[in-house]
């Protein structure tokens, strides 16, 4: 019979040859059929599929088995679970009658970027000035950290102003302690050397979080002798630094902070009791302050000592 055959199942043009029994196997869907006087007629008996084809009967059986297995798993889940919700809801999946599960707040917070650290803060108190050589002078202040973390040595900038408020000069200095912990206070002095003519000044404070914290010695203690004053109002004092700690120390510095009766700083002097050499545990080292002079006579002195742990 001439012309192109069409599969009685899928209706696609089929060029498959007939076997010895006159049976064609559709090259598109794999259905077996015969060409009769009334046209192509599907064969009921199964046969092996052509290469690359799929047996509809086999596919149907597989689908039935899959559905049966799925129903058995679902029945087993329902029989063993105390949750009255359907399996899809118990697994955290959305069902047609249930809105999608929202992300818990705790999980959402953990996926967000951490909050930025607060800017460093500190309180600056300017106590006054102390005369230096010729026209030079020192600006005396204290800085108290209000930051929750350790600060680098605070930087102070003295800005000189003329009568119209214009800047005419500046000088820079640093606080005396090497680092500043939360709530800690450090004295500070800035030398303004050979200043231009000016009528006033202001002090600006620059802060930053410590990127590296030196290992400071613990257990250093200052013992001073009575302070001596000569006829010209010059003061001298000596003393000893004791290392009551467990580690050797070096670069042991002593600060003498002179204060007025109201607590204002009127002068700051510094010296070293120990340099590169080591102050061993249980050891002691002497220091001496000589020729200390102030614009205002001190009422008392505070002695501060710092040192670094020796390597």
**What φ, ψ does residue 136 adopt, rounded to 5°?**
-70, 155
Q: Take residue 240 and report the two structure tokens written for it.
A: 């000893």
185 within 8 A of 142, measured Cβ to Cβ: yes
- CB-facing half-sphere around the CA of 126: CA atoms within 13 A: 14
Give the pair of three-digit tokens for residue 181: 């912990």
How far is residue 16 from each of residues 27, 43, 54, 58, measured CA to CA in Å?
6, 15, 15, 21
Residue 6 pLDDT: 78
Q: Which two tokens stand for residue 114?
A: 């951490």
Burial-class residue 158 by CB neighbours within 10 Å (0-12, 13-18, 19+).
Answer: buried
CA distances from 268 to 142, 199, 239, 290 (A): 11, 24, 17, 13
Distance between CA 186 and CA 144 in Å, rounded? 7
> If you write DSSP's letter for every residue of 123-170 in order, what string do you get?
EEEEEEEEE-STT-EEEEEEEEE-SSSPEEPPEEEEEEE-TTS-EEEE
Position 90 scores a pLDDT of 35
| Cβ density class 206-219: b for 16+ within 10 Å, e for less | ebeebeeeeeebee
pLDDT attached to residue 103: 52
Give the model's pLDDT for residue 108.
58
Note the pLDDT of residue 16.
79
- Residue pLDDT tens, the chain, 311 long: 446 677 877 777 877 788 777 787 887 777 787 777 666 666 654 544 444 443 444 433 333 343 444 444 443 333 344 444 443 333 333 344 445 455 556 555 556 778 899 999 999 999 999 999 999 999 999 999 999 999 999 999 999 999 999 999 999 999 999 999 999 999 999 999 999 999 999 999 999 999 999 999 999 999 999 999 999 999 999 999 999 999 999 999 999 999 999 999 999 999 999 999 999 999 999 999 998 999 999 999 999 999 999 98
> How many Cβ atoms from other residues are within 10 Å of residue 55's Cβ?
18
Q: Provide the pLDDT for residue 27.
A: 78
Task: Give the residue from 125, 126, 127, 122 showing the smallest Cα distance to 144.
Answer: 122
Domains in the chain (CATH in brackets) are: 1-115 (no CATH), 122-206 (2.60.40.10), 220-309 (2.60.40.10)
Residue ranges of E strands in 183-297? 185-192, 200-206, 220-224, 228-229, 235-243, 249-259, 265-274, 284-292
Contact 29, 7 (CB under 8 A): yes
Which pLDDT score, from 0 to 100, does residue 76 have? 34
Q: What is the pLDDT of residue 11?
A: 74
């Amino acid at each position: 019979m001439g012309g192109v055959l069409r599969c009685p199942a899928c209706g696609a043009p089929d060029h498959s040859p007939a076997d010895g029994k006159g049976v064609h196997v559709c090259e598109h869907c794999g259905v077996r059929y015969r060409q009769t006087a009334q046209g192509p007629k599907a064969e009921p008996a199964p046969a092996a599929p052509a290469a690359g084809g799929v047996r509809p009967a086999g596919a149907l059986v597989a689908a039935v088995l899959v559905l049966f297995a799925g129903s058995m798993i679902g029945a087993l889940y329902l029989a063993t679970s105390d949750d009255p919700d359907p399996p899809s809801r118990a697994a955290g999946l959305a069902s047609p009658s249930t809105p999608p599960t929202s992300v818990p707040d705790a999980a959402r917070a953990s996926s967000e970027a951490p909050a930025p650290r607060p800017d460093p803060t500190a309180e600056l108190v300017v106590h006054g000035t102390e005369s230096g050589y010729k026209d030079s002078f020192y600006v005396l202040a204290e800085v108290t950290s209000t930051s929750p973390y350790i600060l680098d040595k605070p930087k102070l900038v003295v800005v000189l102003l003329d009568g119209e408020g214009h800047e005419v000069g500046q000088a820079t200095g640093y606080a005396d302690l090497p680092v500043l912990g939360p709530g800690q206070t450090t004295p500070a002095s800035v030398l303004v050397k050979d200043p231009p003519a000016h009528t006033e000044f202001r002090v600006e404070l620059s802060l930053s979080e410590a990127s590296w914290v030196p290992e400071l010695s613990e257990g250093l203690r200052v013992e001073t002798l009575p302070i001596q004053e000569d006829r010209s109002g010059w003061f001298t004092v000596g003393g000893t630094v004791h290392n009551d700690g467990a580690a050797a120390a070096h670069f042991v510095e002593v600060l003498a902070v002179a204060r007025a009766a109201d607590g204002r700083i009127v002068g700051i002097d510094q010296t070293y009791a120990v340099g590169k050499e080591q102050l061993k545990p249980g050891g002691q080292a002497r220091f001496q302050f000589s020729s200390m002079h102030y614009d205002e006579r001190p009422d008392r002195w505070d002695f501060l000592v710092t040192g670094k742990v020796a390597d």
